[in-house]
Structures are given as structure tokens and as C-alpha cells.
């Protein structure tokens, strides 16, 4: 059996990865798994029952898979690896997030981090070019396989450092400021069937795109600033006509404050009964959270209604100070009421019937603030149209013609609103382009 240098090197690296104490989950993803599989196939030798030709095929296939995963991610190996370290959720990163200095942590924990950082730095220095050379030698190719390279600057301070084990305090400071896990990596989520799914393509709407409703906008921003400052912010109900920009206003907050640690979690009405569980998960996190419930209303007194009511009023599981609830609705009274629900003298079923009715009708009052969005009048509608036209670069159309077309559009379609103005401008921009 010939002992190839890449076999020794890959075997050493593979054994080091398997000996990681805290940062094993750095490789719990397609790119990490592809890399580990490549290291494993590189150090296979003739002692296996497979023939050399089969081993070479496995090696080339593993290299191709790793290359494809890196290319699909659009990231260099170095930046990808350091990014995984900087968001990794493990006992050290979770404790560092909550402590002021690393001196508060146990010596054994700190030594294990140093050990892992040395291993991960070895992997970082083992770049795609070196791996490609190993594959060439191991498989006995006449030429070196193409190495995945990206001409991108280093995106993390760790990528610009050497001797990572000496930067323990800086790493802890990073976790203290940025947090760990998915909340450090993503800014928006959807709660679905018991888990949080990251939103990869966030609605691009920004605060400057929204015209009108100035005091509502200022109140929402001020309350969100309270949340980010660590003060006790209020939950808010945004109530009003359809198309007035209630949901867009809430979603725009991510672009305004995401860099300051704000996170948005969209929860559907049908999932609201899990709200206490969600709050427990968020209570100890570094980031600030908006629970966003769009188009809130209830047909009847359901479990979802009861869960939200408990959270708003304060129950055994109190709403954490780093969480607020922003809900939108087209209904002032959030629970549907029928005339049959109202008590009559002939009713013998409940003694204090009106108390039940009043409890349902006053549910919206349990929000700390209610922001009302009235339908847009003609002046406000045209102001929205002109603002969006300027943003879209529509400057070759006379303002009178633009406004005439906009009013025609509103009459023929959904009436005057921010949504109608946006739809009109989108259609007009495409029409002018073609």
C-alpha cells in the first residue's frame, strides 16, 4: 500500500474534527457535511474491501459535491467557516452572551474553546486549492481539479486574525453584542407547526416608501425605540381600512432596525395558541422581538383567542420585556359578534350575559396602543402616487396626466389606498418600459 501525503493529512484533520468538544455543530449543514465526507473519502486506502477505482470515484464525487455546495452558497470556504463559528450556539457562546467577562466562566470550558479554535483554524487554513491538490494526488489525476475560489473581501474579523485561540475575549464580546444561533443569522421568521422558519427573502418595503399616516408612523417608531432601548414597550393594534399600509409599516421596521438587533416573527392566527411557548423561547435571548399577527380577528372564543388574551393581560407566563406584539386588523372589534349573541329577557342560559358580550367587545382594548388608519382621501392618495412615481423614476409623464390616470385606476379597481397607489405605479412603470 502506498502511503500518500494527503491520506495522512486528511486522516489527521478528520480525527481532529471528530474530537471537537463544543463546536461540532459547525458542520451540521450541507457544506459542512460535504467537507467531512470529502476528508473521509480522501483517507480511504487499500485496506477497504472496495477496489482503488471505486475509492477514486467516491473521492471525486465527494469533491464535486463539496464544490457544488460552496458554489450554491455563493461564499468562500474561509468566510463560510468563520461565519458558522460566529453564530454557533454551544455552551460557551450561550454563556458568553450573558456574562460580562470570560473570567466568570470555568477554566475547563475556556480550555475546550481554545482546543476547538485551534482545530477550526487548521481547517480554515486548509483551503480549496490545497484540498484540490490532495484530490489530484490521491486519485492520481493528470491535472489538479478546479478549486472553488471567490474574489471577495473577508467579511468577519475572525477571517483576518491568526492564532484564534488567543482571541477568546474578542469572540466572547462578539457573542455578547450579536447573539448566537438563528437569531444572530436571520432577521425575520415564520412560526409554523411548532418551529421557527427563517425568511430568506424579506419584503423589501422600507419606511421611506410609505406616505401619509405620519402620527401613526411616529408612534410605532417611538414604541419600537423603547423596545430596543430595553424599556417596557407596549403591544400595538393597527386597525383600519384595507390597503392603508398597516402590514407594510410593521414589516418595514426590519429594514429600519434589524442591524440593531430587532427580529420579526410572523405568527398566523391558527398558531396563536402556541404563543406562551414562543415567549418562553425568546425570553432569554439578546435580541428584541416583534410578534407580528396579520389580519387579526376571531370567529368565536377559541384557544388562540384565549392564549393571546392571557399574554396581553399577563398570566403565569408573563410577556418578556424584549418582546412586543404588533397586530393588524380590519375590524375594530376583533371577535365576531352576532345579534343572536346578545342577551334577551327570555334567555335563561347565563345570569350576567352582558359581561360576556362586553369582554369580547373590549378585547382590542387590551393592546397598549391602538393606531387607527382611516381611508385615504383624494389628496393623500395623489400624494402617495406622486411619491411612488418619483421613487420609481417615472419623471417623463406630466403630473396632471399621472394624477388623472391614477384617479381612473382607483375608480376602476380597489378605491383610494396606499396599496392601490403601489399597484398603479407598478403597472404604469411596466407599461412605460414596454
The whole-model pTM stands at 0.78
Pick the more confident residue, 9 or 14: 14
260-311 pLDDT, tens digit per residue, is 999 999 999 888 888 888 998 898 888 999 999 988 876 655 666 777 777 7
Q: Up-side HSE of residue 17: CA atoms within 13 Å toward CB? A: 22
Length of the chain: 434
55-83 pLDDT, tens digit per residue, is 788 899 999 999 999 999 888 898 899 99
Per-residue pLDDT, 273:
86
384-416 pLDDT, tens digit per residue, is 888 888 888 887 788 888 889 989 898 888 788
DSSP string, 379-424: HHHHHHHHHHHHHTT--SS-HHHHHHHHHHHHHHTT-SSHHHHHHH
- In CATH, the architecture of 188-373 is 3-Layer(aba) Sandwich (3.40)
152-204 pLDDT, tens digit per residue, is 666 788 888 889 999 999 999 999 988 899 999 999 999 988 889 999 999 88
Q: Is the per-residue pLDDT at 20 higher than 90?
A: yes
327-339 pLDDT, tens digit per residue, is 998 865 555 545 4
Per-residue pLDDT, 153:
62
In 10 A of CB 412, how many CB atoms?
7
CA dihedral for 230, 234, 235, 236, sign (positive or negative): negative
Tell me the CA end-to-end span of the chain in Å, nearest whole number. 68
**Strand boundaries in 227-331, DSSP class E:** 236-240, 262-267, 288-293, 323-329
Place of cell 475546550: 112
Nearest CA to 98 among 177, 184, 157, 187?
177
Place of cell 429594514: 255
Residue 358's pLDDT band, with cuts at 50, 70 and 90, is very low
Per-residue pLDDT, 2:
40
Q: Do 369 and 327 meet the contact criterion of CB atoms below 8 Å apart? A: no
Domain ranges of the chain: 5-184, 188-373, 378-433
Amino acid at each position: 500500500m502506498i502511503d500518500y501525503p494527503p491520506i495522512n493529512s486528511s486522516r489527521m484533520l478528520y480525527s481532529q474534527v471528530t474530537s471537537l468538544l463544543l463546536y461540532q455543530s459547525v458542520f451540521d449543514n450541507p457544506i459542512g457535511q460535504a467537507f467531512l465526507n470529502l476528508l473521509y473519502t480522501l483517507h480511504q486506502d487499500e485496506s477497504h474491501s472496495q477496489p482503488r477505482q471505486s475509492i477514486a470515484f467516491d473521492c471525486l464525487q465527494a469533491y464535486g459535491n463539496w464544490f457544488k455546495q460552496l458554489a450554491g452558497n455563493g461564499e468562500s470556504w474561509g468566510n463560510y467557516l468563520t461565519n458558522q463559528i460566529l453564530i454557533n450556539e454551544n455552551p460557551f457562546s450561550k454563556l458568553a452572551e450573558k456574562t460580562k467577562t470570560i473570567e466568570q466562566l470555568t477554566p475547563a470550558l475556556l480550555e475546550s474553546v481554545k482546543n476547538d479554535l485551534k482545530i477550526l483554524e487548521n481547517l480554515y487554513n486548509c483551503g480549496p486549492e490545497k484540498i484540490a491538490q490532495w484530490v489530484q494526488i490521491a486519485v492520481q489525476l493528470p491535472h489538479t481539479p478546479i478549486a472553488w475560489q471567490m474574489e471577495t473581501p473577508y467579511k468577519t474579523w475572525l477571517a483576518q486574525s491568526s492564532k484564534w485561540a488567543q482571541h477568546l475575549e474578542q469572540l466572547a464580546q462578539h457573542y455578547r453584542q450579536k447573539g448566537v444561533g438563528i437569531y444572530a443569522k436571520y432577521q425575520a421568521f415564520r412560526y409554523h407547526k411548532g418551529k421557527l422558519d427563517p425568511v430568506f427573502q424579506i419584503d423589501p418595503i422600507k419606511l421611506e416608501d410609505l406616505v401619509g399616516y405620519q402620527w401613526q408612523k411616529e408612534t410605532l417608531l417611538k414604541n419600537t425605540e423603547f423596545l430596543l432601548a430595553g424599556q417596557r414597550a407596549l403591544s400595538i393594534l393597527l386597525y383600519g381600512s384595507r390597503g392603508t399600509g398597516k402590514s407594510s409599516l410593521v414589516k418595514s421596521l426590519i429594514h429600519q432596525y434589524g442591524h440593531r438587533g430587532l427580529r420579526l416573527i410572523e405568527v398566523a392566527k391558527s398558531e396563536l395558541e402556541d404563543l406562551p411557548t414562543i415567549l418562553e423561547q425568546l425570553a432569554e435571548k439578546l435580541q428584541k422581538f416583534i410578534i407580528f399577527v396579520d389580519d387579526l380577528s376571531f370567529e368565536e372564543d377559541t384557544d388562540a383567542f384565549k392564549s393571546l388574551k392571557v399574554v396581553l393581560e399577563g398570566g403565569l407566563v408573563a410577556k418578556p420585556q424584549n418582546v412586543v406584539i404588533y397586530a393588524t386588523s380590519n375590524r375594530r372589534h376583533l371577535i365576531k359578534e352576532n345579534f343572536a349573541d346578545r342577551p334577551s329577557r327570555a334567555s335563561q342560559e347565563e345570569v350576567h350575559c352582558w359581561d360576556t358580550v362586553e369582554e369580547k367587545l373590549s378585547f382590542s382594548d387590551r393592546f397598549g396602543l391602538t393606531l387607527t388608519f382611516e381611508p385615504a382621501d383624494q389628496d393623500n392618495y395623489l400624494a402617495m402616487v406622486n411619491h411612488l412615481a418619483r421613487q420609481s423614476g417615472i419623471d417623463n409623464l406630466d403630473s396632471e396626466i399621472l394624477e388623472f390616470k391614477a384617479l381612473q385606476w382607483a375608480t376602476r379597481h380597489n378605491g383610494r389606498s396606499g396599496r392601490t397607489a403601489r399597484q398603479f405605479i407598478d403597472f404604469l412603470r411596466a407599461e412605460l418600459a414596454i
